[in-house]
Amino acid sequence: MSDGLSQPLNAASGPKPGSDSMNAERLVSERGGEAATLDSDFCKALQGIETHGYLKSYFTLPEHARSGLSVYHVGDIALPLGEIQARQIMGQAKPPGLDIRPWELNPTQFKLDYSVWEGRLKALYRHIAPGLGQGQDWIDSIRAEPSAVLLMEKGAAPDL
């Protein structure tokens, strides 16, 4: 931004007469082509910004697979999940609300064994990449962080 522009223009409501914004608008209109180039460069710079995003997904593990999941104050979780461990997880989890929602553990309450989960996550990336218009470079560069573990009754589906 040049020294003459002390504040950006308020695009939503326009500048107030006599304000610094009005003076800035007059200065920009007087500068003509230089301001247009600045606007164009600024727009290009904004388009180059990469942001973090969220993707929700769920899948079911084979019945006798190693879970790779440990819940604090419960221990390593066995598959298939038994009633005793399910009740222990419920004791640690955020209870469902009035509507039927799953029991939820936040990331401070569980730990994933990445030696087990790395392959599962790569398989998930390969599955979703084509739908997102992405290729192998994206699969190799993406990083996922779990945001929750949900415990649901048999037959229930998460509200994604």
pLDDT per residue, tens digit, the chain (160 aa), is: 444 333 333 333 344 455 555 555 665 566 566 666 666 776 676 666 666 666 666 667 776 778 899 999 999 999 888 999 999 999 988 876 666 678 889 999 999 998 888 888 888 888 888 888 888 888 888 877 888 888 887 777 666 5
Q: Which residues is 105 bridged to in the sheet?
A: 149
Q: Characterise 32 by phi-psi region: left (phi > 0), alpha (psi -120 to 50), beta (else).
A: left
Whole-number pLDDT of residue 3: 41
Residue 65 near residue 80, CB atoms below 8 Å: no
Task: Note if the pTM is more than 0.85.
Answer: no
Whole-number pLDDT of residue 148: 87
- For 76, the enclosing helix (H) or strand (E) is strand 75-76
Whole-number pLDDT of residue 29: 62
Hey, how many other C-beta atoms are within 10 angstroms of the C-beta on 45? Answer: 9
Whole-number pLDDT of residue 128: 83
Residue 73 near residue 92, CB atoms below 8 Å: yes
Helix (H, G, I), strand (E, B) or coil at 74: coil
Whole-number pLDDT of residue 75: 94
Distance CA 14, CA 112 (A): 51
Whole-number pLDDT of residue 157: 67
Whole-number pLDDT of residue 4: 38
Whole-number pLDDT of residue 22: 56
Distance CA 24, CA 30 (A): 10
Pairing of strands 149-151, 75-76: unpaired
Whole-number pLDDT of residue 86: 92
Question: Which contacts (CB < 8 Å, 24+ apart) does range 127-133 have?
Answer: 128/55, 128/57
